[in-house]
Structure 1
Amino acid sequence: MPSDKPMKVALCWHMHQPEYRNMGTGTFQLPWTYLHAVKDYVDMAAHLEALPRARAVVNFAPILLEQIEAYVAQVNAFFNGRGAIKDALLANLVEPALPGDPDSRLELMKRCLQANREHMIERFAPYHRLADLAQYYQAHPESLIYASNQFLADLLVWYHLAWVAESARRQDPRVQALQDKGYNYTIHERRELLHVLLELMQSVIPRYRALARSGQVELTMSPYAHPIVPLLLDMESAREAMPDAHLPINTTYPGGEERARWHLQQGLATFERVFSTRPAGIWPSEGGVSQAALELFAEAGFTWAASGAAVLNNSHQAENHSCSHRVYRFGDADIDCVFRDDGLSDLIGFTYSDWHSEDAVANLTGHMEHIAELCQDRDDCMITIILDGENAWEYYPENAWYFLDHLYRALLDNPKLELTTVADFISTSKPQPSHEEKLVAGSWVYGTFSTWIGAPEKNRAWDLLVDAKHCFDEVVASGSLGQEQLRDATRQLAICEGSDWFWWFGDYNPGPTVSQFDQLYRMHLAHLYYLLGVEAPGNLSEVISRGGGQPSRGGVMRHHDQDTA
């Protein structure tokens, strides 16, 4: 085909949070689902709504969708006088009687500082002053007698104002009035802010559903609770890219194929219930793929899957160095595969946050134009950028408002480049897939599974999970569980199989975050034993990992290449 046709570009944004609820009580242990919902999920929709010609792929983990629904239900119930908000931070926003004991007050201050210092705290002078006072009280707890309830209330208001979507900040007069007041917020004003947050949370799913119906967005999914499917199928697959990897004691996850199918089936059920459509594409959890996993995705009805370019590089035959921007097929798996442009994706995730937005976009589109010059076949080649659609933006000024706006506008105005979705590219361009003999198993991170298995702490977490799965199988086989008990235990097992717990275990991650996820993981395992009617083993009281590192972006994001991490 002539090279004067524009090069297709697919921007793919991945939204996912693990299960933060204690499923026994319904209490949220960490607030990241609702905070990212009112900030990032809202703004990412707003950018597309403002530019009807823009296109993007948006991926949701089903377990995230269920948590958004749970928050909406809880806050609605609170306003209707029929229930409590089971997230301590959000509940305290509208709690007239704030905690009185020193430890609880210090903990509340600490949680109200969990935001990007430069772009979310120092941006607002009143919040900056309150944050400095909170840090002083943490360093000098003997001075807490001077920390009034009004101080705590104002700190809570400003913390939540800082997390409000930029689109709402610019358009909602209620948000603007609260910001302009600056201090001395009443309980009425705090409740009004909660109303704003509720409206933002309520808007997330309908907005993406509408964008999908208009054709602007292709909605895709990850497996239900975000497990690494290849490792469920065969832990030995980790050695395909890491031949010398030290694996857990048990290298076979019992009933792994059945569990992988469950995550796909349950994920589809949740996705279709929420969005009233069936996804064509899948972003496997962390881009984790293997030959067996691809065949399972195809069997489930997915027509395309995506992973990282390092996986493609590992899978190339020795004499084959085909373009990574093409569509591929592997072995007999009846599914198209596209691969993340790791370099461009990492520029957005880690580099451009410190640049002027127009310079960053000019640099990025310049790289894309160069790729377009090298890839002459427009029907077979597409630039695919895939990255976290939530954690990167707090490192940009004003939640990346200017960067994302300039990016979409520049791509719409560039005659050499054209925004598309993966499904549209495949259906309209009808690319001829390049064939490889077999996919080498791996993920988008380093092209391996080293982020989730192989280190002592990660392997120990797998051993705990395998033990729990053996117990699950024995109890289910005994027939002692009723239908409702079996349903709850099966879902709880899925939560324990999620990738996030293994992601955080390791001394390279920050200690406080590792501690939170370590406790969450063991809590989820303990609740699984409770649902099975079995006493939890004593080793669940032992810490798995302590962390202690200071990785870029606090560990919530990774570079694709170990050499640049």
Structure 2
Amino acid sequence: MFYIFFLIFFFTLPLFSQPSFENGYVVFKFFAPEANSVAIAGDFNGWRKDDLLTKDDNGNWYGKFKIKPGLYQYKFIVDGRWMLDPANPVKVENFNKTDFNSVFVLSYDWKILLQSEPDAKPNPEDIYPKTNRIYLNIIWHQHQPSYLDPEKDQLQGPWVRTHGTKDYYDMASMLENYPDIHVTINLTSSLLYQLDEYYVKRLKPYFDPKRNRIDTKRYFKDGVKIDPWIDLMLKDSEEFTDFELGYVYKNSWNCFSVSEVVMSRFPEYEQLKNKDPKHYTPEDIRKIKFFFYLANFDPDFLNGKVKLANGFEVDITDIIQKKGDKYYLKREITEDDCNRIVAETYKILSAIVPIHKKLMYDPVKKTGQIEVITTPFYHPILPLIYDTDIAKICQPMDNLPERFSYPEDADAQVKKSIAYYQKIFGRKPLGMWPAEGAVAEQIISVFVRNGIKWIATDEKVLARSKPENQPFYYPYSVDEDTVYGNKDEAKSLLIVFRDTRLSDAIGFTYQNYEPEVAADDFIRYVLSFAPENPFEERLITVILDGENAWEWYRKDEDGKAFLNALYRKLSKLHKNGQIITVTLSEWIYGNPMRGVKAHKITSHQELEPLWPGSWINANFDTWIGEEEENLAWEYLSKVRKDVEKLKIQRPNPFLDLPKSGTKEYFEYKAWESLYSAEGSDWFWWYGKDQTALGGDEPFDVGFRTHLINVYKFLQKAGYNVNVPEFLLKSILK
């Protein structure tokens, strides 16, 4: 019966053109007289599944929302089934590119436009309506999981290196052109450790700055291990065995592991991918491995000479040239060119920390542009490490694994990250981005007792915290006291909530827009929140990856034109006093030179309790609740219990590595392998909700390798343990 009514509805679309704008609200309608419940989820409500529509006597379901102008995706949920809006013919691919969502635009003159492009028109002169001041807090999150196989002492993935040459340097360095723009960059400890300990320290002894080459003979003689693709570039392609060819084109992660958008900018590279591997020549193999490096260089490095923050220069214009929007080789690639590109890679990677130090904001001197923060060391979902039963609050209907509860591990992950940050930057961080924005009331004390002053998560978490439905454009306070209203500055944290719509627009929506149009849409949206009262202070927070989005920007190479347009427009609005970009250290401690006053943490509205959840769905269902995810937690739990039974002393995170080969050294390595397995990234790829570009198998192997190495290191430490047989079996179904 339901489908009959659905067909009637479908063929009477002109009578139900929607959504509509009525009396200041966007109104949605759905005809389903036989349905027991109809909800709507979309960008405007944080994709909540429990926003139920109201049914009238004629079988029509209605709902209305007060939203700002902008572009919005949405779907109906009819008796638990996700459905497109049959009255709206416009749809777009969803964020995961696995399905479609209905979409509409609410224009800035309050009209509903059934289109998949933003309403903003490019303003080359950056002319905007005069508004009162609003503050903007931009946080770029830079993260890679631990690809280290401790037994091999080698990274098994190249992604720290590829994003290092494509994203991590230029995302900071481009701010030098916009001195009025202040942002926060989150550098996770697992990323920094792999960057510094493996790429920078291990390549430095073999880099000859005069020749701009790597000393290959000494490199291989000394048995240096970094990642397999470094060896690939330094070894003659004609000597490759099937082992090396696996890293070229056979393995899940290989030299063609780049996005289709990036690949399309290198036609010769694309041709090689489409060629039958049976007909690859040694020259083809050499080009393939070379292009894998080249395609992961930021456009700045491809288009001209770049002077780096550490004094080195990068210039590869003698090898590559741009014609239109495509890149072509100027000549045949030699093995010497491959060696040279490793040297160029080293120079860029060794400049990443220096550029962040150069632009680092000092909350005492009030100088610098970038507040550098970090994340608990191995990027764990901290509430789940603390106690997986916390998920029962936000996922009451999901099956959960046997309880995993190690608050001391949560504390160790925070302590380790602070210690490593201090080692790199010479001071302690004031803020942290909890991995995946995963927070809960129970972990506030972990941050407070370790001296952290602010954290951040998503507005969907705010909507479910108490008091409910507070506006996301204010910071709030949370504390470790269980009594609401007992405000103590020393026991409190500032917490901000990202604007989901704007953050996701950068990450997923703007990739299909012209750069100026996208930047304009961003600006107009932010200005729409400017307060009418000139004495009111509002803070919009934008948080997203500063690495993965750009490789999907189809009309804008690596997102560079968008970012430059955005920073240019924000710089003019800064001078007009309309949008002031701030870091949260500036917000808390003030910066009189930029007109930012100090704000005590306890002066903000208190949340009690803080809802447990992440930036995805305001829960933890991406990491726990599905069969594969739960099995992974059971594996981790069994290994953790074995470590607990042996009463192995936990290493002090503030001490240097114990002497190699000693019992204490192998115990330390066992703990590190366990902490690595607690990282969020392994659980992210388990289950059906996420699928990696090269398949999920490498992450499954990585997770189990860390757990297996716990036992291998314990054996070397003298413990009578064996690797459990279950760890040898894949978790993937």
Q: Do both share a fold (TM > 0.5)?
A: yes
- 2-side partners of 1:445 and 1:514: how far apart? 20
Deviation, structure 1 residue 476: 3.0
Which consecutive unaligned segments of at least 5 residues does structure 2 have? Answer: 1-129, 207-213, 306-313, 322-328, 362-366, 482-490, 591-596, 651-661, 716-720
Residue identity in the other structure for 1:538: E
Name the amino acid aligned to 1:417.
Answer: I
Give the number of aligned pairs.
527
Secondary structure of 2:315's counterpart equals helix
Distance in 2 (CA, whole Å) between partners of 1:195 and 1:50 is: 27
Task: From 178, 190, 206, give the equivalent of 1:63.
Answer: 190
SS in 2 for 1:264: helix
Relative to structure 2, which stretch is displaced further, 324-333 or 433-442?
324-333
Aligned to 1:413: 572
Query: Which structure would you say has the larger RCO, counting Cα contacts within 8 Å and 6 or more residues apart?
Result: 1
Q: Distance in 2 between matches of 1:509 and 1:374?
A: 42
Q: Does 1:519 align with 2:672?
A: no
Deviation at 1:374, TM superposition (A): 6.5
Contact preservation (8 Å) 2:153, 2:225: no
Match of 1:508 among 675, 689, 714: 689
1:391 aligns with 2:544: no
1:176 to 311, 317, 325: 317
Q: After superposition, where does 1:278-357 map in structure 2 within 5 Å?
A: 278-317=428-467, 320-330=468-478, 332=481, 334-357=492-515
One-letter amino acid of the structure 2 residue matched with residue 541 of structure 1: L
Deviation at 1:176, TM superposition (A): 1.4
Taking the TM superposition and a 5 Å limit, the aligned residue runs for 1:420-435 are: 420-428=582-590, 429-431=597-599, 432-435=603-606
Which deviates more from structure 2 when the two are superposed, residues 11-20 or residues 512-521?
512-521
Moved more, 428-437 or 4-13: 428-437
Secondary structure of the equivalent of 2:688?
Answer: coil
- The residue identity in structure 1 corresponding to 2:234 is V
For 2:455, what is the secondary structure of its paired residue?
strand
Pairs within 5 Å for 1:33-52:
33-52=160-179
Q: Is the 8 A contact 2:154 2:226 kept in 1?
A: yes
* Corresponding residue number in structure 2 for 1:240: 393
Do structure 1's residue 456 and structure 2's residue 615 form an aligned pair? no
Cα distance in 2 between the residues matched to 1:278 and 1:378: 32
Q: CA deviation at 1:95?
A: 1.2
Deviations 1:530-550 (A, max 9, x none): 11222111111211125xxxx
Gaps of 5+ in 1: 138-143, 547-565
The match for 2:337 is 189
Question: In the alignment, is the contact (CA less than 8 A) between 1:229 and 1:288 conserved in 2?
Answer: yes
- Is 1:113 aligned to residue 272 of structure 2? no
State the SS of the aligned residue for 2:699: helix
Q: Give the greater-gyration-radius structure (CA).
A: 2
- Whichever residue aligns with residue 192 of structure 2, its letter is L
Partner residue in 1 for 2:144: 17
Bigger proportion of residues as helix: 1
Give the superposition deviation at 1:382. Answer: 0.4
Q: 3-state SS of the aligned residue for 1:436?
A: coil
Q: Which amino acid aligns with 1:16?
A: H
Counterparts of 2:649 and 2:472, CA distance in 1? 50
TM-score (norm 2): 0.69
Runs of 4+ in 1 over 6 A off after TM superposition: none
TM-score, normalised to structure 1, is: 0.89
Amino acid at match of 1:287: G
Q: Does 1:93 align with 2:246?
A: no
The question of whether the paired residues in 1 share the 8 Å contact of 2:455 and 2:496 is answered with: yes
Per-residue CA deviation, residues 479-507 of structure 1 (Å, 9 max, x unaligned), is 9x932122211211110111110111012
The separation in 1 between residues aligned to 2:533 and 2:476, in whole angstroms, is 15
Structure 1 pair 107/204, CA: closer, same or farther in 2 (3 Å)? Answer: closer
Equivalent residue number for residue 402 of structure 1? 561
Secondary structure of 1:384's counterpart equals strand
Instruction: Show CA shifts across 1:385-406 (max 9, x none).
Output: 0001111110113211101111
Is it true that 1:122 corresponds to 2:264 in the alignment?
Answer: yes
The answer (yes or no) to whether the contact 2:184–2:370 under 8 Å persists in 1 is yes
1:529 aligns with 2:670: no
Alignment-mate amino acid for residue 642 of structure 2 = C
In the alignment, the residues of structure 1 paired with residue 258 and residue 608 of structure 2 have an alpha-carbon distance, to the nearest angstrom, of 47
* Equivalent position of 1:165 in the other structure: 298
The one-letter amino acid paired with 2:624 is I
1:154 aligned partner, one-letter code: K
Letter in 2 for 1:175: I
